[in-house]
Every structure is written in C-alpha cells, then in structure tokens.
Structure 1
Amino acid sequence: MNKQTIDYIVREQDLITQDLSTYLKRHEKKEMLRLLVAGSVDDGKSTLIGRLLYDSHLIYRDHLESIYQDSKVFNTTENEIDLSLLTDGLRAEREQGITIDVAYRYFSTEKKSFIICDAPGHEQYTRNMATGASHCEMALILIDARNGVRAQTRRHSLIATIMGIQNIVVVINKMDLVDYSESVFQQICEEYLDFSAKMSINSIDFVPISALTGENVVTKAERMSWYTGEPLLSFLENVKLADESNLTGFRFPVQYVIRPNSDFRGYAGSVVSGVVHEGDEIVVLPSGKHTRIKDLKTYDGYRSKAFPGMPVVLTVENEIDISRGTILAKPDNLPTVTNKFDATIVWMDEEPLKCNNEYLLKCNAQCVPVRIKSIYHKYNINELTHIKADELSLNDIGKVELLSQRPLICDSFTDNKEMGAFILISRDTNATSGGGVIELKQINNAQKGQNLSKEVSFVTTDQRIKMLGHKPATFWLTGLSGSGKSTIAKILEAKLLERGILSYILDGDNLRQGLNSDLGFSPEDRCENIRRAAEVAKLMNDAGLVVIAAFISPYQKDREEAAHIIGSYYTEVYVDADIESCMQRDPKGLYAKHAAGAFKGLTGIDAPYEAPLKPTLHVNTTQETEEESSEKVLNFLLSVI
C-alpha cells in the first residue's frame, strides 16, 4: 500500500465500523441532489468526480489501493493516483481513457447527499448521456479551458434542457493549463452565455477549477484569487433548487393487478404526481369510468393518503375494468387522451428515423404502436437553429409528429416529466431506438371533433362578393420586426378604404393582447399564435373582407399551415429588410431592450427567421420607401380582388 493510501482517513470511519445504523440514520433524511456531469472527451469529468470523493474523504481504503494499482497498470498518471478510474469501471474505459457507459456514484457530506451521473463524452454514446440526464435535477457541464465551448458542449447542454434540467453549472476545468487566467475564464463564460441564450434555462453559474490538482473543487484556490465565488463542492452543498415535486394533477399508472384470491383485487404502481386520499373520486382512463378510492396500502400498512414517489396498492369501490397501462386521475385535472402529438426526440439507432416508420412507444406503463407522421426539423447543434430534414440519423435531435394506433394518455413533458417522457422501440429488433418528450401545444385530442358538424350560412360567398363589390383575400405580410409590415398594412388599409374596399388589419401585437394573451414566444407558442391568426383571417374572408395580416411569422412551416387554413384567398408577401435597417428603425424599441438584456429570443438576433422561399410578392424596404412598397402590394391586391 502506498503512502497516499496509508495517510488517507475515510470520513466517519470509526462510526461506520462501530455503529453503522447511527451512521445511516445521520444521512438518510438529508436533502438529495441528483447531478449530471457531462462534457467533451478528456474535459475531466471522471477526474472531477474522483477528486470530489477523494478530497471529501469518501473513498474506502481498499478501493483507493485498487485504483492506485490500476493507475500503474494503465500508466495514466506517473506514480500518482488516477482518480478518473473511480468511475471508469469498464475495462474498455480504462484501456482507452474514455467514459463509455453512464456511471453513478453516491456520496454524502455534512449538508447534503448527492447522486452523480458521469455521462460519456463521445458523440457515439449520446444515447447514454440522454438516459442519465432524464433522472437528474442539475447539470455540471465541463469545459476544457484550453478548448472553450465545443460541439459536444452544445449537444450536452441541449439534451440536458430537453430532458428537463433547468439549472446548469458550467465548470471550466484545467485552469492550471492556462495559467489560471481570468480573461480565459471570462471569455468562455461569454461564449457559453451567447450560445445558451437560445435555450430555456432557469439558472447558469460558472466555476473555474483544476480537477487534477483539486484547486477550487473542495477548497478555495489561492492562484485564482480573482474568483470571488464558492468552491464547487460548497456551491453544490448550498445551492437551493425549486421543489420539483408535482403535487397537483394526480396521476397513477397501473403497473400490475394484484389478485391473490377471489376476495381481493388491488392495483399496484407508484404515484407519479399529485396526492390522493382515501375516499377521493377518480377517473379511469381511457375508459372514462368514475369510481372512488376504497383504501391505500403500502409495505408498511394502510395509509390515508399517497403522494409522488410512493409505491402503493389501491383498491376501488366499484368493480370496473382496470388493467396494466390504465391511468387513474382526478376528474378536475385530467391528462390528455390523444392519438396525435408532437415530440422532441434524441435518436439512438443506427437505422435512421423516417416518415411513416412504425415503432412501439412506451410511456410509463403504456405501450402503443405509433407511426412517424412528419419530421418538422432537426437541430443544428453548433448554432441551435432548425434544419429541414427528411430523417433523423444516429445522435440527431429533432422535432416530429407521431400518430398512435390507440389513444395515448399523457401530459406535456414540461408539466409532468413522468407522463410526458417516452422511448421508441424498434418492432424489428426490440431495441430502444430513441427517447423523447411530448409537446402538447398543438395536439389533436382524440375526443375533439366528436359530436360537431359544420353549419352552412344561407348567405353564399357570391352574394357577399356582389354586395361588397370585391372578392375576399388575405395578404400575409411576413418579415423581421422593424421591416415595415405594420406601416405597409396601415397604408394599404387607408388606400383600400378610399376605393370603397372593406378591409381589416390583423396585427400580431393586437392579437397577443386579447385572443392570444395566453401565448409566449417559444417556437411552439409562435406556431399556435399563427394558427389562431389564420383561423381568424379565414372567418373574416368568409365574411367577405380583405384581411391584411402583419405577423413576423418566422417559421416556414407555420406560414405553410396558415396558407393551408386560409386556402385560395392566401397571398404571401415578404417584407424584406436587412437587420441593420430594422435595428435603426426599431419602432417598438425591441432591439434596444434586447441589447440591454431585458429579454431573450428576438427574431433575427438570437431566434431564427426562415425567409420565404417562394413568396407571391417580394418587397424590399431597405432599397425602397414603405410608400413604394405599399403601392406594389396595392396594385397586386387590386388585381386579385
């Protein structure tokens, strides 16, 4: 045994040896934090975890000696202990010096307990990283100070946010190799903040360290006196995360039906969200039958209530059909029952995902056949922009639309992780092909549309045209903020009125103050904003009006959907202007506010704008006045009505 292991004293070793039960009780009720550690190859993830455990004196001596011997065998650190071997347990990992599989480590300090997930850095093991991320509350994204933000940094950050991690700690490692430079640290911080502005993240913190030497990992680094924050371990011990326990919206997926004899029928599973009490009324889905909870039984006996994470056997008052895969919920807060939904998917199969491919979708205890209806886009990992795609290849991340053969009972992942996450299973190989999260902004509920019929007016379209003296139309003005859409729309409306033509402006901001006041500016909310606007325009066209719709409408697919809804009355007008001109005009002050850091997600700056590929009419307000552009639009409009 070498001197390092001889001098090493395991924390609370005497208590562990003499009174294990007291040691366990001391730690069992501490706050638990589940951490994902991710980054590119050789950024030092495994070394960091080993350093945390070593400097906290949480490695047993026999394990430490084993690591020391392996360090000599694999010649990794020249007579020093290679702490990365603590988590790189596979022989292939030790031989290659990389992490392949997800490794989990538990440790506990005086203040908090931790479960650390060491995620692989190689792109080919992205699937393993996604699996680990789905169980964590915070991500430590490691960056090699010499290399800065790399493609895998972006990929891992994106996957972490897709999997619901909203708290990121960017750990800038190997500061010893850049002479502990504050300027290098600040440059990487700025680079990461620029990149991450396109993602939904609640908090981002930055910590400079050297995992190899241990500086700023457990104790403060003297050679980085410019850093005023806490060492990494202290930060993790003191950080407070919002309580993510979902206590609203009771959901209970039935795992097994317990029937030991003819006198007992119970339904076993775990409460994934909400709280249920004895006597509560519940709804059985998908059947929609109502009943009440008779009693709740756990391993420790009967309980009056059950809460998230508790395994329990329920019995109900009525004899109704409840089987594996059934979801129990409360009538005042029901999940969605749908056979059509959108999802963001991390693809994990060598065989690409393509439209019309069929898979088995497993979501909690449900397993339903699904088909890929369409692929909206995949992500450009470096720029976090959307790329049109006909397929998703191994490790691609994209958004798709799925159709299920049977109704799926689910929630949006942002509302309920357990009810909104799924895996896709190949029907040929039975292997997991992908993992995804459900987005329910634009679902077509299987129950919607039932018992509805279209009412036809006694007044025909031809009669309206004859009365008004012109045909209806929708001229859809799309372009960046400040390109001149609203100005052109107002000029058009006034000139049409002079000619006795009845028109109305549908303005994006006006709709967001009323009809669309519940929507934000995420890609999904933008999509729904345009869909609703198109439905309103269609109704106005039915009334015989000329509609001038002024919307940024940044996504090509959304404009195509608007054209589909409105039909033959739709005309697309691209109001083109370069970003510099738009920033100079800045009629609503958005560019100035964005530059001041008041908000993120401004189209054309840190949110994408997909310019029309083949607009019906193209005007350029950088090269011509808005009056000249309006005249072009007016002349074209008069020719079609």
Structure 2
Amino acid sequence: MNGLLKFITCGSVDDGKSTLIGHMLYDAKLLFADQERALELDSKVGSREGEIDYSLLLDGLMAEREQGITIDVAYRYFTTEKRSFIVADTPGHEEYTRNMAVGASFADLAVILVDASQGILVQTRRHARICALMGIRHFVFAVNKMDLVRYDQKIYRRIEKDIKKLAVDLELDHVNVIPVSATEGDNVTLKSPSMPWYQGKTLLGHLETVDVEDETEEQGFVLPVQRVCRPNHTFRGFQGQIESGTVKRGDGITVLPSREKAIVQSILVTDQEASEASAGKAVTVTLDREIDVSRGCILVKDADLIVSSMFTATILWMDDVELTQGKNFLVKIGTKLIPAAVMDIKYRVDINTGEHLAATHLYKNEIAVCDIAAADEIVYDTFRKHKGVGSFILIDRVTNMTSACGVVEHSLRRSENIVWQKLDITREIRAGKMGQKPLTLWFTGLSGSGKSALANELEKRLSVAGRFTMLLDGDNIRMGLNKNLGFEPEDRIENIRRIAEVARLMNDAGLIVLTAFISPFASDRQNARDIIGEGNFVEIYVSTPLEECERRDIKGLYRKARDGRIPNFTGISSPYEVPEKAEIVIDTSKQSIEESVDIVLEALEKYF
C-alpha cells in the first residue's frame, strides 16, 4: 500500500473523462453487484446503442445524462489491493471551469485526457495551467480514443511530442503519457494487445505505484486559527488544522501578526490530550498566558511568514462579470477574511502560448498576474513555500460569490517598508476641541437627484448650529484631485477610493464631511464605508426617480447621453446599483430642499 492518492480527471469536453474512470472501476471489479446491474440497465437507453456506457457511473445529474457531459464535480472513493483512491471527475466545458478548479484544489495528481483524433485543444491547455497553478506536480496525459485512430503509433507520437512541449512551457515536474481507449478498455487496467508498441504501465498500474510525496517539505510549524474556544472562564483554546510542521507541549510559539510570544501549555486532538501534533491534524492549543489571538491569526514556530498588506498573485478569474483594476473584494487567505482591492492587472497569460499580454480588464476563465492590496496587515507566504497560507480566493462583496482563486507569488516590498506613524494629537483630541463627533455623510443618487443642493443646504444648517464641516462635491473634486480620471469603470472605482481616503483624513482632523457623488456601484460604496469606518459612515440615498432627474436636467447631461454623446452615463448607458441598507433615504421630488434637510437632520440626531 502506497497510501491515499487524491487525483483529478480533466481536459476538454467529450475527451472521455467520465468514461475512463467508469471503465476503470468496472474492469477492476470495484462495483457492487447492484451498481453493476444498474449500469447495464441504464446503458440500454444510453448513447452507445446498448453497449455499456461507463460514463453513467460518474455523471449522476439528469442534465449530465441528457447532454452526455459532466457539469458538476463527481467524487468517487475506491480501493485496490495496492492503494486507496479519491478521484474527482471534473467538467470539460469552458462554462464550468470554476468547478474544475475546485476539483484541482484538492488533488495530488492530474489525469488530463487528450482526444487522439483532435490533439491538444485550448481547454486542455487551460486545465493544465490551472492544475499547475493549484500546485499539482504530478501529471498523467491519457491520450484517449486510440481506437478511433486505429491505434496509430505515429498519431500518438505526434501528440506525445506536443505534450512534452506543453510540459516544458508550464514547467511541469513529473509527466507521464499513456495511450488508452476508455470505451474499449485498452491500457486502462490491462495492457492492450492492439498497441504492442507501448511498453509502459497501464493507467491503473501507474496510479497504484506513483509516489506523490512532496520532496520539499514546508518549513516550520504553521497553525491558522479557525476558532477561539472558550466553554468557560478557565479554558481558552485556539482551534485549527496544522498546515505544516510539528508542535509539542512546551514549545515557544509566536502569534502573527501581533508577534506576541507564548508557550504551548497543552494540545488536544479531539478531546484527548497529546504531547505533540503534526501537519494535517485538527487541534486545540492552549497557551501559558492570555494574549490577543482571534480567528485569522496564525501560530508559528521556526516559520518565516510575511506580514504585510500588499502582494503580487496569479489569479484565475471565474466571474461572469469582467474584472476591472481597482475593484474591491473580500480576500480569504488562510482563515483570515478581509477587504481588499485588485490594484493593478500586470498582465494576462495567453492560454495557448503562455505569452504575457497587457490587460486592464479580465474576462471569465482568464489567468493573470495582479497586485492586490488588503485593508490591513495580513499573514501569508508564497505558494511555493506554504500552500495553505499562500493560496486565496476573492469574494464579491455584493453577491458573496467566489470571483477568483489565486496563489501568492511574492510580497510587494513597498508594503513592508511603510509603517503607520502614530501621532500624539489624535482624532479624539481634535474632535474634542471642536465638541463634535466626526462623521462622513455620504450622499449618493442619480445625476440631478438633488445630492449637491441637499448637501450644500445641510452644510449651511450644520454651520449655523456651530458644527465644523467640509463639503466634497463630485464635479469640484474632478476639477482638481481627480482631474486625471475618466468615467470608465476602473476610473470610477479610483475616484470613489480617493474621496473616501480624503474623507477619512478630514474625519481625523475632527471635521464632519459631506460628500455628494453619484457613486453608482454598491461595492465601491462598501469600500468607502470600510475605509472611513463603519461607525463614522452614514449613507444617504437620494432616491429621486430617473424621470424627475431627466425632467430637471439642469446641465443638459441626460439629453447628451440619450443622443449618444456621453458614453457610460449613469442611469442611461451605465447602471446605478440602488443601496439596499442606506441609513437615510430621501426623495427630493416629494418635498422642497428645506423640507428634505429637516428630514435628514432629524434622522442624524442619533449620530450627533
């Protein structure tokens, strides 16, 4: 027995992935009698004219059987006399590349199928790149459907040559090429008499004997804290799965990012005390003293992890909506979940050639190298050194869907060389002298909704009441600070980010800041809220209907937009995402500006 092997089957659509694994299970007598009988009965109405359709063992969804394709990842567990296996059969369609990436994230080895009658296709290359991106180091390229090319050795050798070139381009370490026929069973579990020119192992024979142990062991003890366990006032344990290394009772550990030190007092594996635990174990660790540890912190010993807020990463973009530079997300790395932004798309990777191409946008299933900035310091490492804290996902802040997965290439050095300077005169001292609570009143709504007029009148009323204020208006800011920005999505994102940073600095000065910006995207307003701070941000949605805004059209902008003279105009050719949880909502079409200000002031009383 060589231990458990977790592997994935992937490749282009209709290359025979499900059929290959199904035939392997059938020939190796790894099915129960009722499963075998059900397969034979189902095949009578299948797509092989009554012959056994081995793919039915893996494709369980009705839509999969109707279309003859794999949609979701199908996991199968089986054991031979020599080894235990978990196989993930993944979709080949480009539309389901996200599902394939999920399957690749768990595997030690990839079986990539290539149709002998077609050779290497674009999706084959994409899947190979994704597997390499996910850290898979062992590859088997199964050249399938050899029966359709009459077991022609010349065709196989030509494809084998292309595969070896691809392996060099992707810097794949361990690559084997095996000619097979998934439907006929050639070289799947038994050597094929139709291909005497192939002298290597069968696919199952190779899987039973391949050694996938990583020669480069990850250095040091690393435990990302998943949960703080405190069942009573006498016990405080830190729970998580050990990513690498070994920890023993009495070891000195460091907590990152705070860098506080402590001694391991006890180790629990389930509810049993242990003297030590190693990589892969889920443990509860208690320390000899009370220090600040929470979910997202990492306990380390002899591991040189990075603590910073910016890094360069390779990502696979999986969202239907395009990625633009500056867009905001939640990044989950290790057990830490924190707001972050894609600052810069350095280049995208051509799937066919591997060439680095200039890009400002990414579209679904494209791979690119980007710079990412988190809202605060996080703990991570490069993927090559520590996979568990070197891989991450980007989560859309509005839909909560996973938009991308990626791996850390390196830290951005400038983030490690910049340290926040603590000042003696704080926000609280400045605000105390002014006798007020610093706030940002963020007015959002369509052009012509009355944002600027409402904010201007509100500032006058606040000034009369003795408040110290500053009004930031969209048009005024674009004439100075943001003069270099246009109205493309990435420029709109950067426009709002800069305003939020300015508003935060003015809040630090003790001022009440009023901003009047269309700010059409929910994710950008959420990012502004994060920058300024939840307790200091008040979103005021001026909900005046589009028809009323067009009727006013003080600047003639809607007329120009309707005529096509202004592209990307919010409400006409660019969307406005209505706030779902604004603190204050006001419609200036229903009352005068003075009456609207009265309503807003009344709602603001609880903040002042």
Q: 2:39 aligns with which of 53, 60, 67?
A: 67
Q: 1:149 aligns with which of 120, 132, 137?
A: 120
Deviation at 1:242, TM superposition (A): 3.1
Does the alignment pair 1:390 with 2:339? no
Q: Which residue of 2 aligns with 1:35?
A: 7
Alignment partners' CA distance in 2, 1:312 and 1:428: 34
What letter matches 1:349 in structure 2? D
Q: Which residue of 2 aligns with 1:635?
A: none
- 2:129 counterpart SS class: helix
Q: Which residue of 1 aligns with 2:16?
A: 44
Give runs of aligned pairs for residues 251-290 of structure 1, distance below 5 A: 251-290=222-261
What letter matches 1:366 in structure 2? K
Alignment partners' CA distance in 2, 1:298 and 1:103: 31
CA contact (8 A) 1:247 1:307 kept: no
Per the normalisation by structure 2, the TM-score is: 0.68
Alignment partners' CA distance in 2, 1:394 and 1:286: 34
Q: Which residue of 2 aligns with 1:100?
A: 71
Q: 1:235 to 1:351 in 2, by over 3 A?
A: same
Alignment partners' CA distance in 1, 2:143 and 2:304: 44
- 2:309 counterpart SS class: strand
Q: 1:84 aligns with which of 43, 55, 59?
A: 55
Does the alignment pair 1:306 with 2:277? yes
What letter matches 1:275 in structure 2? T
- Deviation digits for residues 89-108 of structure 1 (CA, Å, limit 9, x no counterpart): 11111110000111111111
What letter matches 2:413 in structure 1? N
Alignment partners' CA distance in 1, 2:299 and 2:414: 18
Q: Which residue of 2 aligns with 1:571?
A: none
- 2:110 counterpart SS class: strand
Q: Which residue of 2 aligns with 1:210?
A: 181
- 2:236 counterpart SS class: strand
CA contact (8 A) 2:222 2:303 kept: no
CA contact (8 A) 1:43 1:142 kept: yes
What letter matches 1:335 in structure 2? L
Of residues 64-73 and 210-219 in structure 1, the stretch that sits farther from structure 2 once superposed is 64-73
- 2:326 counterpart SS class: coil
What letter matches 1:241 in structure 2? V
Alignment partners' CA distance in 1, 2:115 and 2:169: 22
Q: Which residue of 2 aligns with 1:427?
A: 397
CA contact (8 A) 2:219 2:385 kept: no
Q: 1:125 aligns with which of 96, 103, 108?
A: 96
- 1:409 counterpart SS class: strand
What letter matches 2:334 in structure 1? N
- 2:194 counterpart SS class: helix
Deviation at 1:52, TM superposition (A): 0.8
CA contact (8 A) 1:362 1:422 kept: yes
Does the alignment pair 1:404 with 2:374? yes
- 2:44 counterpart SS class: helix
What letter matches 2:19 in structure 1? T
CA contact (8 A) 1:338 1:445 kept: no
CA contact (8 A) 1:247 1:308 kept: no
Q: Which residue of 2 aligns with 1:57?
A: 29
Q: 1:153 to 1:247 in 2, by over 3 A?
A: closer
Give runs of aligned pairs for residues 99-498 of structure 1, distance below 5 A: 99-243=70-214, 246=217, 248-299=219-270, 301-330=272-301, 332-440=302-410, 442-444=411-413, 446-450=415-419
What letter matches 2:27 in structure 1? D
Per the normalisation by structure 1, the TM-score is: 0.64
Alignment partners' CA distance in 2, 1:106 and 1:244: 26
Alignment partners' CA distance in 1, 2:345 and 2:420: 31
Deviation at 1:244, TM superposition (A): 6.0
Q: 1:446 to 1:318 in 2, by over 3 A?
A: farther
Q: Which residue of 2 aligns with 1:620?
A: none
Alignment partners' CA distance in 1, 2:172 and 2:2: 26
Deviation at 1:30, TM superposition (A): 5.3
CA contact (8 A) 2:73 2:89 kept: yes
- Deviation digits for residues 409-455 of structure 1 (CA, Å, limit 9, x no counterpart): 10101111111111110001111111111111x52264434599xxx
Alignment partners' CA distance in 1, 2:407 and 2:324: 18
Q: 1:242 to 1:30 in 2, by over 3 A?
A: closer
Give runs of aligned pairs for residues 557-576 of structure 1, distance below 5 A: none
Alignment partners' CA distance in 2, 1:300 and 1:108: 30
Q: 1:448 to 1:302 in 2, by over 3 A?
A: same
Alignment partners' CA distance in 2, 1:71 and 1:102: 21
What letter matches 2:337 in structure 1? C
CA contact (8 A) 1:377 1:387 kept: yes
- Deviation digits for residues 1-52 of structure 1 (CA, Å, limit 9, x no counterpart): xxxxxxxxxxxxxxxxxxxxxxxxxxxx751111111111111000000011
Alignment partners' CA distance in 2, 1:249 and 1:373: 31
CA contact (8 A) 1:294 1:317 kept: yes
Alignment partners' CA distance in 2, 1:247 and 1:375: 29
- Deviation digits for residues 531-563 of structure 1 (CA, Å, limit 9, x no counterpart): xxxxxxxxxxxxxxxxxxxxxxxxxxxxxxxxx
Deviation at 1:235, TM superposition (A): 1.3
- 1:214 counterpart SS class: coil
CA contact (8 A) 2:2 2:208 kept: no
Deviation at 1:367, TM superposition (A): 0.3
Alignment partners' CA distance in 2, 1:138 and 1:96: 28
CA contact (8 A) 1:246 1:416 kept: no
Q: 1:382 to 1:187 in 2, by over 3 A?
A: same
CA contact (8 A) 2:347 2:368 kept: yes
Alignment partners' CA distance in 1, 2:248 and 2:272: 15
Of residues 63-72 and 178-187 in structure 1, the stretch that sits farther from structure 2 once superposed is 63-72
Of residues 236-245 and 357-366 in structure 1, the stretch that sits farther from structure 2 once superposed is 236-245
Alignment partners' CA distance in 1, 2:280 and 2:356: 37
Deviation at 1:169, TM superposition (A): 0.8
Q: 1:304 to 1:183 in 2, by over 3 A?
A: same
Q: Which residue of 2 aligns with 1:632?
A: none
CA contact (8 A) 1:339 1:445 kept: no
Q: Which residue of 2 aligns with 1:26?
A: none
CA contact (8 A) 1:248 1:275 kept: no
RMSD: 1.6
CA contact (8 A) 1:166 1:200 kept: no
CA contact (8 A) 1:336 1:410 kept: yes
- Deviation digits for residues 242-268 of structure 1 (CA, Å, limit 9, x no counterpart): 336845221111111111111111111
Alignment partners' CA distance in 2, 1:30 and 1:303: 27
What letter matches 1:152 in structure 2? Q
Q: 1:445 to 1:261 in 2, by over 3 A?
A: farther
